[in-house]
Amino acid sequence: MPSREIPQQRRVQSPRVVSIDDLRKLAQKRLPQVVFDYIEGGAEGELTLRENVRAFEAISFRPRQAVATGECDLSVKVVGQDISFPAILAPIGYSRLMHPGGDVAAARAAGAAGTAYILSTISGYKLEDVKAATNGPAWYQLYFVAGREVAEAAIERAKKAGFHALVITIDSPVAGMRERDHRNGMKALLGGTLLEKIPFLAQFFTHPAWVANFLLDGGVPKLENIVVPGKGPMELVDVVAALGRAGVTWDDLRWIRQIWPGPIILKGVLTGDDARRSVDAGAAAIVVSNHGGRQLDSAPATLRVLPEIVSAVNGQAEVLMDGGIRRGSDIVKALCLGARAVLVGRAYVYGLAAAGQAGISRAIEILREDVHRTLRLLGCSSASALDSSYIQQK
């Protein structure tokens, strides 16, 4: 990574950076409003976005006192791979806009921490380069953004590069209405004319460091893993329109199963019926997800439907979840309700935006320390020993 990250690393190690919210505040200072709101925002009135966080507040702990726990074992096994603690870095689109390190920095930080990284199709880096950056597990998240032929080519590349699992997002037949993006000029940033950019220029003038990094990195990146025959990598500005032609159906899983030999993980399940159908379709794992509140507003908080999904699956597939996780205690609550592990998105992206790879590493460190401390305070010796007896609904 460029030498300009060195002072950022010193800053992120400040004793004032003790929570994910501290990284969030640093990210907000560094980023233009349009980029920060892309991270921060949700769909429409953002009801689901808020409920994802509030759901954790409705759970309290039931600790076992006077128990000598010592060092707790945070490791878990997910789809056959060991990870050092039960949090996986979720796929995040456009991450190179937040910091030039983008997906490569995230993969490297995840590998150094002993956990898995999931690469989004909407990436400005080639999947081969991202896989090479990590010594930990790497999974590839697939969108059918440019049709079956292009998707098949990406699957073949992921297989050759050594990705272990394929994550298929099933909740995005169209992009959600993310009102902040429209108000703050996301379309103008990605591909608008100079005239269209003028109303939003002030936010860039007040963030010269981000602008300099953005320009030195080549501006808006192309999508290196969506290679359209005869055209090359797709332009980033084409994604929203392309999603409208990219919905995944249960029938698609049949041909994917034929060409992908590894585990398939379905992301976006919110009902017991879809969970059972996922098992029938051969999913090794399910991610209980509402896309971080960014797709269908008024969808339920993922923590609240997690028990229904766990019950429906009945041990036939592993259950993961995402949405609203900001503290290690949130991870512990999800595990108590039956999740094998969680995916974290915004929690590490705040670190990426604040300080690149060093910021991601700090986010992981904060969450890991939170989980370990929470387990000791609960009187529980390992993440795998957590169950519903350690929590209660308020």
Q: What is the per-residue DSSP string for 286-334?
A: EEE--GGGTSSTTPPPHHHHHHHHHHHHTTSSEEEEESS--SHHHHHHH
Q: Give backbone dihedrals phi and psi of 98, rounded to 5 degrees, phi first.
A: -80, -35
**Residue 291 annotated in active site:** yes
Catalytic residue (choose from 99, 164, 207, 291): 291
State the Cα angle at 178 between 176 and 182, rounded to 5°. Answer: 130
| Phi, psi (degrees; rounded to nearest 5) at 206 | -85, 5
Could you give the CA distance from residue 186 to residue 215 in angstroms, rounded to a whole number?
17
* CA atoms in the 13 A half-sphere facing the CB of 197: 10
Report which residue type is found at 162.
G
Q: Which residues contact 343 (CB under 8 A, 6 or more apart)?
A: 87, 88, 89, 90, 118, 287, 289, 320, 321, 322
| DSSP secondary structure code for residue 238 in this structure | G
Question: Do residues 48 and 297 lie in contact, with contact meaning Cβ atoms separated by under 8 Å?
Answer: yes
Active site residues: 291
